[in-house]
Each structure stands twice: as structure tokens, then as C-alpha cells.
Amino acid sequence: MCDPIQNRYEFVILFDVENGNPNGDPDAGNMPRVDPETGLGLVTDVCLKRKIRNYVETVKEDAQGFRIYVKDGIPLNRSDLESFTALGVTEKNVKEKKKSDPEIDKKLRDWMCANFYDIRTFGAVMTTFTKNALNCGQVRGPVQFSFAHSVEPVVPQEVTITRVAITTEADAERKGTEMGRKYIIPYGLYRCEGFVSANLARKTTGFSDSDLELLWEAIINMFEHDHSAARGKMAVRELIVFKHNSELGCAPAWKLFESVQVKRKDTDDPAPARSYQDYTVTIDETSLPAGITCIRMI
């Protein structure tokens, strides 16, 4: 495994959606998530992490050290069991292993971090394998995301659709089309803020500089291999990274985030925004504290 990162980072992601549903709410009929108090659109951190996992799985194809733990169709316990097998731990000898090797729990955790990219990055709860208290521990990942929220209020629209393919023979005898509906946001620009802790990378998961480069690559391209009719046209427009010159950092994250301003170009225009070109993005680099380097990745 490579050496862990030595610098703390914060980052801002700007992405937009056009005629799509960026993150449906299953408790609201899969309508786009909206803050009811402000009307701002929401996209959960879990949704964005899924996109990154999917990208890494696509480009790495389960290469050693870059497998994905939280994966469709793969029970978590199946992956947990791989670490037990690799370290020679079985249901029969677990008690002897714990007595002879007090570090066995840490070794199981480290094996999982070394083999699964998303555990090394986001952390994971791996305490679900309960036979004889076997588990791989709980890992707090160095990379964390906030919820993304739209820069301006969004107005979800319900669009009625039809199809000529009928589901059943009985339905085909009495109707020629079937009705359906989908929810879209005509346009929304979303902002997400994130954190990368070098301290947690060193102490826990071993998240390295090469892992970090893959993370930036995955963020920039997280919608490029995930297009669908439901999500419309989505794209990452900006990835702004703040690099500290130390492990623990030299400025509060909020101060760095506040230096990034996203505003409408024409504030007197009553028409709603319909493209990224309706906004301007500025970074007040003169206000950045000493020891901070700002990098615009896009």
C-alpha cells in the first residue's frame, strides 16, 4: 500500500441538471428532493458517493486494491468473509486467534481497507457478521461529502408520458396505450462541499495520493458514465480544491467555502436560469489564509 496523504483538503463541486431528476425521494413518489422551507433542491451525499463508486468500478474493473465494498448484488458479509479467509480465521478457531493475536481485529480492518477503495475513502460499518462476534470493525473514512443544494429554488415538474407497448393481454383488449409519469427539474445548478482528512488517512485507512487523484477523476466524471432518461443531462461544471500545507490544516473549512461565490449574471432578469452560462463563479483568492493553495480542477 502507498503512503497516506500528508495534506488536508476541502473542495467545492458545482454540477447541474437539465430536464432530469438528480435524486428522487422514495418517500415522495420519487419526486426530486426539495427543502420545503427554502425550495432549494437537494441531492444526498449517499447519492454522490454511489456515482463515485460506480465510476471507480467502471475504470478499475475490480483491480487489486480498487474493489468496491458497497456494491449491487454483493452481500456485505460475503466480502467480510474474504478477510477472515485471507488471515486464516474461521468459526472454529476464532477464539484461539483472538487469544494468540490481540491485533487480529486491526489486521482484519486493515485488510479490508487495503482491498476495497470505497472503504479506504469513505469508511464503512463492517460489524454485521455476528458468528462468534467475528467482524471487521468500523472505519471512519477520510473523505466526506455534505448534501448538495441548488443555488436557487427549483420547481419540480410532473410530466405525463405514454407508451404503445401494453403490459398484459387483458389490458391489450381494452386499451391501446398506457399512461405514466416522470418528474423533472427543468434546470438546477447544485453545490456540494467536501472534506479530506489526512489525519484519518494516516491513522485509519491509508488513503494515498494515488487514491486522491482517482477521487478527483471520479468526481469530474461521475455523471459521464451514468446517463439515463430519468436523470436527464447532468454534468460536473466545477471542482475547486483547497489544499492545506499540513496534515491538520491551517484554516477553518467554512472560510474557504465562503470564498467561492456563485451568482446570477443578470440579477434583474425575472426569468429562471436555464443554463450554466446564466451564472458566474468567482473565488476570492486574496482572502485565503496563508498556507492554502486553491486549484480549479476544471
What is the helix (H) or strand (E) element at residue 93, kind and residue range? none
pLDDT score at 134: 64
The runs of H, that is alpha helices, within the chain are 45-60, 76-86, 94-100, 104-115, 117-122, 169-174, 198-200, 209-220, 253-258
Closest CA to 200 of 283, 141, 145: 141
pLDDT tens readout for residues 201-227:
999 999 999 999 999 999 999 999 989
pLDDT score at 60: 96
The CB density around residue 22, as the number of other CB atoms within 10 Å, is: 26
Closest CA to 207 of 59, 90, 92, 66: 66
Indicate the SS3 state at residue 253: helix
pLDDT score at 133: 58
Task: Measure the CA–CA gap between 234 and 22, rounded to whole angstroms.
Answer: 8
pLDDT tens readout for residues 100-114:
888 888 999 999 999
pLDDT tens readout for residues 35-52:
999 999 999 999 999 999
The CB density around residue 40, as the number of other CB atoms within 10 Å, is: 19
C-alpha cell at 187: 434546470
Task: Measure the CA–CA gap between 100 and 258, rounded to whole angstroms.
Answer: 53
Rounded to a whole number, what is the largest CA-CA distance in the chain?
74
CA atoms within 13 A on the CB side of 138: 3
Task: Measure the CA–CA gap between 154 and 160, rounded to whole angstroms.
Answer: 19
Spell out the long-range contacts of 46-49 with Cβ–Cβ below 8 A and sequence spacing 24 or more: 47/22, 47/23, 48/13, 48/145, 48/148, 48/192, 48/222, 49/118, 49/122, 49/145
Is the pLDDT assigned to residue 234 strictly greater than 80?
A: yes
Q: Are 211 and 120 contacting, i.e. CB atoms less than 8 angstroms apart?
A: yes
Task: Measure the CA–CA gap between 135 and 89, rounded to whole angstroms.
Answer: 11
pLDDT score at 63: 96
pLDDT score at 237: 98
pLDDT score at 161: 87
**Looking at residues 118-136, what average pLDDT do you find?**
81
Is the pLDDT assigned to residue 34 strictly greater than 80?
A: yes
Q: Which residues contact 223 (CB under 8 A, 6 or more apart)?
A: 15, 51, 231, 234, 235, 236
pLDDT score at 1: 63
Spell out the long-range contacts of 52-56 with Cβ–Cβ below 8 A and sequence spacing 24 or more: 52/118, 52/121, 52/215, 52/218, 52/219, 52/222, 53/118, 54/222, 54/225, 54/226, 55/217, 55/218, 55/221, 55/222, 55/224, 55/225, 55/226, 56/117, 56/118, 56/214, 56/218
Q: Which residues contact 260 (CB under 8 A, 6 or more apart)?
A: 12, 240, 281, 282, 283
